[in-house]
Copies of this chain bind each other. A is one copy, B any other.
């Protein structure tokens, strides 16, 4: 049994303007994460589903990214609709949103 049923970490890293890799913060990562967190709280599920800010997850080019542990599902989410789908379909419904998933395989691995 897991301490948290789902434990999400959303990248909040900020890089200077014009950095070639970009960053999750400038692409809206913090607002998207806050939106998801508020929705989970509305459902009263914040003890089972923990949503945390995290430092750079080093997938900047794919950002804004988040990862759902312990099952390890990586997502790129572009807008509030994507954030809602992850909440509704995955966190509440139990089924990962395949269209938004990122690979768990590294290009350099």
Residues of A within 8 A of B (CB): 1-3, 7, 9, 47, 50, 52-59, 67, 69-72, 74, 103-106, 108-109
Contacts and interface: CB of A to CB of B under 8 A. Distances in A.
A33 to B, nearest CB: 10
Given A9-B9, A69-B72, A72-B70, A3 B50 contact: no
Q: Considering the complex of A and B, which 10 residue pairs feature the smallest CB-CB distances, nearest first?
A: A69-B69, A53-B55, A70-B72, A52-B55, A3-B104, A52-B54, A54-B54, A70-B70, A69-B70, A2-B72
A34 to B, nearest CB: 11
A27 to B, nearest CB: 18
A52 B55 CA distance: 5
Majority SS at the chain A contact face: loop
A73 B39 CA distance: 27
B50 A57 contact: yes
Contacts of A7: 67, 69
A106 B54 contact: no
